Chains A and B, each alone.
Chain A
Amino acid sequence: MPEQDPQKRSRNFEEVALGYSEEQAVSEASRCLQCKKPPCRNGCPVSIDIPAFIKEVKEKNFAQALGIIKRTNSLPAVCGRVCPQESQCEGVCVLAKKFEPVAIGRLERFVADWGRKNDFQAPTENKEDKKNKRVAVVGAGPAGLTAAAELIQKGYDVTVFEALHRPGGVLVYGIPEFRLPNEVVDFEVEGLKKLGVEFKLNQIIGRTFTLDQLKERFDAIFIGTGAGLPAFLGIPGENLNGVYSANEFLTRVNLMRADRFPEFKTPVKVGAHVIVVGGGNVAMDSARTARRLGAEVTVVYRRSRQELPARAEEAHHAEEEGIVFKFLHNPLEIEGQDGWVKRMKVQPMELGEADASGRRRPVEKDCLPEWLEVETVIIAIGTTPNPLIPSTTKGLNITKKGTVVVDQERGETSLPGVFAAGDVTTGAATVISAMGAARLAAKAIDEMLA
């Protein structure tokens, strides 16, 4: 797939991957072997009928292709862009054994983008009769949007409550424009509105309404509030000016458009040297965003390249854009001057025994720490669920890690009629896994109310 030149793109927020042309899409689609028992479909967490939609692409029936995808996936333009296809649909494509797998994600993206360019919302062919029952969806991220799409198509009245002023969750405040333009998310949300989903923004459940108050007004509740509470390192100097959580940094730029300050009024402060701490996709997004704001960026990660949790493609894009990786280093302290970040002390590490998760644990190397000059630090070491709903709702069971306890198959919580899925139940995971679990929960809600 064509991409923007790394030199050029590291100075703008436009999409890196430019997407297939019609010819490229048709040509790629013709590589699909149309398996009788397609493994790709099982590899997809929302079980898209992949061979069927690819067949329609091959025959240039793009509207039909979109209809097939939309039967099981309400956010194809998102998933085509951000899914880790290498470990899902494309990872199990039969062609992958000997050749390149069919580029399923790129084809999905092409079909969804075709729909958006032609202002074509897929027909709601499987919309059932109105059931006159009301479901509240808490949180308008990938899980909430998926649950809302499933339930509205099954004939329920759906109201989505969102704490921020714009729906999309991590898709609009977290994942940057150069990977997923916010207008792509807006289009999907508009599609849901046209189907009849009502969106209530600026409503913080636990404060504006409690969950118990929602239970009085709705027949069922779906919680998809994600894992938005940032973790900090707990080292000296972390509250100095110039230290951001990745959530704050990305929210300022993606949601509030601080990259266009002062046209947009939210500022962001990025010095000449930025250190991003962490190795996941959020760390890559933060580093690449800081680079686009003009900084020299170093990613400090306490394990080695092999353990990097970010998608290989994201780390590769980051390197192409000039981001430096400092593997096997762990921050110990941030030192300031006049209240501002000045330098960071990092300890060289080496890999020791494997831990419970099977990854080799980083241990301090027998040598002196180093000091790195830095003006801005972005902490991207993970997030946990926001405790607001559990702390204001009696009887909702949560784990020690703060995740809501659910029945794995049905997403049912300890409270009758209340279901949950996505990061709030698993801790920070992927967009597509949240969507897959949300589909199951929506199905369980339907079974309960039918």
Chain B
Amino acid sequence: MHRVIEYRHLGANQHQLVIEAPDIARAAEPGQFVIVRTEERSERIPLTIADFDKNQGTITLVILAVGFSTEQLCELRAGDHILDVAGPLGHPSELENFGTVVFVGGGVGIAPLYPQVKAFKASGNKVIVILGVRSKDLLFWEEDFKSHCDQILITSNDGSVGKKGFGTDALMEVMNSEKVDRVIAIGPAVMMRAVAEKTGKIPTVVSLNPIMVDGTGMCGACRCTAEGKTRFACVDGPEFDGHTIDWDELVSRQRMYSEEEKMVKGENKVPA
């Protein structure tokens, strides 16, 4: 059992949970994820570790409430418990001094950028962060990012905060004005795909978010085509070369259970 230490609402259906998980916090590195099962009848869902504090023994999860399982998780408050949290899983991000690194975060994908931004900055990279949101109320952690990067650019689809447009527009501007050595994108598949299509020869890393069950490599639910081969995102990734992803396949596989997801949505919550 893992105690929820803190709950914060991050705007619209975005929620932040800080969870007691000392073993995971101790071992965690940027880029990794956990598998969470809220209670006995819940499914196992993957969530990227958005932040971790090795001294406090906590990890932070940022969750978009989009269906039954994520909604159930987002109803938890400080003092509540999560039945199972397993991790850290997946390969940590490849971290070196690459030169100038641009991070592009979309939606709740903004959150898992944070530990990477801190680590890349600490490794001597010039770090530029682009945060893309639909509108102002969905922007979060802006101040936290500012203290760990050289430049921050905000875009919103409706122009209510930062520049009107997409994260990719800001990325194009950066690429036109300076030499970029690496791009790291985390967000919805359509957004990561758009980034990968714009970066040409610049190495572009994306963090894939397919359906997972165990998260340890024993089932292949999360398989995707990357780097020309079938790979398991949970153990071979979740980060891959964004230029080699079969995006249509990823998006199609993400929708495999859309009918079933509708069936449980809005059902009565946690059984007593």
* Residues of chain A lying within 8 A (CB to CB) of residue B87: 204, 207-208
Chain B residues, Cβ within 8 Å of A304? none
Q: Report Cα–Cα, A209/B83, bound state, in Å.
A: 20
Which of B213, B216, B220 is in CB contact (< 8 Å) with A256?
B213
Q: Known contacts A239-B230, A262-B263, A266-B43: does B84 contact A229 (CB below 8 Å)?
A: no
**Which residues of chain B in 61-96 are interfacial with respect to chain A, using CB atoms and an 8 Å cutoff?**
68-69, 83-89
The answer to whether A395 has its CB under 8 Å from any CB of chain B is: no
User: What chain B residues lie within 8 Å of A386 (beta carbons)?
Assistant: 216-218
B84 contacts which of A201, A234, A247, A248 (Cβ < 8 Å)? A201
A403 to B256, CA, bound (A): 34
Which B residues are in CB contact (< 8 Å) with A230? 218-220
- Write the nearest CB–CB distance from B257 to chain A, whole angstroms: 5
**Residues A165 and B83 in contact, CB atoms below 8 Å apart:** yes
B216: which A residues are within 8 A, CB to CB?
Answer: 163-164, 204, 228, 386, 388
Shortest CB distance B65–A (Å): 15
Are B214's CB and A251's CB within 8 A?
A: yes
B217 pairs with A228, CB closer than 8 A = yes
Closest chain B residue to A165, Cβ basis: B84
A339 contacts partner chain B, Cβ-Cβ < 8 Å:
yes
Complex: A208 Cα to B246 Cα, angstroms = 31
Q: Are B41 and A264 in contact (CB under 8 A)?
A: yes
Query: Do A165 and B86 have beta carbons less than 8 Å apart?
Result: yes
Within 8 A of A (CB), among B31-65: 32, 37, 41-44
Shortest B19–chain A CB gap in Å is 13
Residue of A nearest to B35 (CB): A202
Closest to B89 in A: A207
- Interface residues contributed by chain A, number (CB under 8 Å): 39
Q: How far is the CA of A202 from the CA of B86 in the complex (A)?
A: 5
Interface status of A267 (Cβ within 8 A of chain B): yes
Q: Are B27 and A229 in contact (CB under 8 A)?
A: no
B37 and A165 contact, CB distance less than 8 A: yes
Among residues of A, the one whose C-beta sits closest to the C-beta of B37 is: A165
Q: Is A42 an interface residue when CB atoms closer than 8 A count as contact?
A: no
How distant is B23 from chain A, measured CB to nearest CB, in Å?
A: 5
A261: chain B residues at CB < 8 Å are 260, 263-264
Give a binary string over A254-287; 1 marks a CB under 8 Å from any B CB, 0 the rest: 0011000111111101000000000000000000
Contact partners of B89 in chain A: CB under 8 A: 204, 207
Cβ of A371 to closest chain B Cβ, rounded Å: 22
Residue of A201, A229, A263 with highest tally of chain B CB at under 10 A: A229
B23 and A248 within 8 A (CB): no
* Chain A residues with CB under 8 A of B260: 261-262, 267, 269
Alpha-carbon distance between A120 and B213 when the two chains are bound, in angstroms: 35
Which of A208, A247, A265, A387 meets B24, CB within 8 Å? A208
Q: How far is the CB of A144 from chain B (nearest CB, A)?
A: 15
Q: What CA separation (Å) do A228 and B69 show in the bound complex?
A: 26
In the complex, whether B178 has a CB less than 8 A from a CB of chain A is no
- Considering only residues 199-242 of chain A, those with a C-beta below 8 Å from chain B are 201-204, 207-209, 228-230, 232, 234, 238-239, 241-242
Bound complex: CA A269 to CA B37 (Å): 20
Closest to A201 in B: B84
The residue on B at minimum CB distance from A228 is B218
Interface: B253 (CB within 8 A): yes
Say which residue of A207, A209, A238, A263 sits within 8 Å of B230 (CB atoms): A238
- Given known contacts A209-B23, A239-B224, what 6 new A-B pairs fall within 8 Å (CB)? A201-B84, A203-B23, A242-B256, A245-B219, A245-B220, A265-B264
Instruction: Give me the 10 closest cross-chain CB pairs, A-B, nearest first.
Output: A248-B219, A267-B260, A339-B252, A202-B86, A228-B218, A266-B43, A165-B84, A265-B43, A245-B220, A247-B219
On B, residues with C-beta under 8 Å from A are 23-24, 27, 32, 37, 41-44, 68-69, 83-89, 213-214, 216-221, 223-225, 230, 235, 246, 248-249, 252-253, 255-257, 260-261, 263-264, 267
